[in-house]
Amino acid sequence: MVSTPVAPTDAELAASLDGEFTSAHAEVNGTRLHYVSGGAGDPLVLLGGWPQTWWQFRKIMPELARRFRVIAVDMRGMGGSAKPETGYDKKTMAADIRALIGHLGHESAFVAGHDIGASVGYHLTAGFPRAVRRLVTMDLGVPVESWLAIPMLPASDEQVASLTEGRGGYPWWFAFNQLQELPERLLDGRFRLLVDWLYGHMLVDQASVDEQARRVYAHAYDSPEAIRAGNRWYQTMRQDIADLDTYPPVTTPILTLAAEDNYALLREQMADRGTDVHVVAVPGSGHYIPEEQPEFVVDQLTTFFAQS
């Protein structure tokens, strides 16, 4: 087994950011969530994706904290949060975040989510509409029926080329994360290999995610327990799709930021996800938008939230 270098603690990472950010935990909805908060103003909850932690928002948190009370959350199964056996459907994870917002003394908050966090943010908005003032989703909408038809094999020469030429485009990890036991056996102590592969294929600028960040993410997932928890975000997606039919129409304004290559797809997927949805392409960015184009993200979020 390859050993992963020790990464800084969450408290050390929080203290390293410009501004006064602190690391804390809260017992909510039957689980324990870790979050980092700082700044003053209206609450803004940031929800991250796989395979990352709250640290993926490090580049946007200091500037956002000039206008908002920023709360970057490790969701159920992520980073410093608990990793229970169950509760990884996005409806339950959304209830975790709703409880955290109340625990922190707020009736509602602005919410921005990336990847899996975007899906949790949407379920939060749909299930608890009074808790979300406005929602931003980044490079993911919500699981939809078409996801059930993703082919087992690459469907085109272009998808094959994307794998061999160092680009994304074929989400093989959707299937890989459905497996029981094998992922943790393969990746325990070796998770850095997966981190580097994903960034290698889904960043325009490799330097936008530095060595420390990659070490932080690898360390956070480099155990069987953490690998299993991350897998379960994917294993519950069929339930997430079914749960979408239980919600009333979403009227909360939604802004979706999409990597340039995903813009057309997300515009189509988000078209009927609410009555007030706007999709914007992020120039010069791959999937990991908050890390690759932080200034653009800050500008989009502050402008969109100011319209409330």
CATH number for the domain that contains residue 152: 3.40.50.1820
Cα–Cα distance measured from residue 57 to residue 46, given in angstroms and rounded to the nearest whole number: 8
Using a cut of 0.85, tell me whether the model's pTM lies above it: yes
Residue 259 resides in a domain: yes
Total domains in the fold of the chain = 1
Q: Is 115 designated active site?
A: yes
At 168 the pLDDT is 66
The number of beta carbons lying within 10 Å of the beta carbon of residue 186 is 14
Residue 5 resides in a domain: no
How many residues can be counted in the chain?
308
The number of beta carbons lying within 10 Å of the beta carbon of residue 62 is 17
Asked, as a colleague might, if the bond just before 249 is cis with ω within 30 of 0, I would say no
Q: Is 222 designated active site?
A: no
The number of beta carbons lying within 10 Å of the beta carbon of residue 215 is 18
Residue 101 resides in a domain: yes
Q: Is 42 designated active site?
A: no
Residue 111 resides in a domain: yes
Q: Residue 121: give the domain boundaries.
A: 10-306
Sign of the CA dihedral with 190 first, then 193, 198, and 199 last: positive
Cα–Cα distance measured from residue 85 to residue 295, given in angstroms and rounded to the nearest whole number: 38
Residue 185 resides in a domain: yes
pLDDT along the chain (308 residues), means of 10: 71 96 98 98 98 98 98 98 98 98 98 98 97 97 83 81 72 93 96 96 94 98 97 96 93 96 91 95 96 98 95
At 4 the pLDDT is 53
Cα-only R_g, the chain: 18
Residue 288 resides in a domain: yes
- Asked whether 105 and 49 are in contact (CB, 8 A), the reply is no
- Point out the catalytic residue in the list 222, 234, 240, 288: 234
- Point out the catalytic residue in the list 34, 123, 219, 287: 287
Residue 1 resides in a domain: no
- Point out the catalytic residue in the list 10, 89, 96, 115: 115
Distances in Å between the Cα of 212 and the Cα atoms of 54, 63, 131 are 14, 21, 34
At 147 the pLDDT is 83
Phi, psi dihedral angles at 69 (to 5 degrees)? -85, 100
Residue 89 resides in a domain: yes
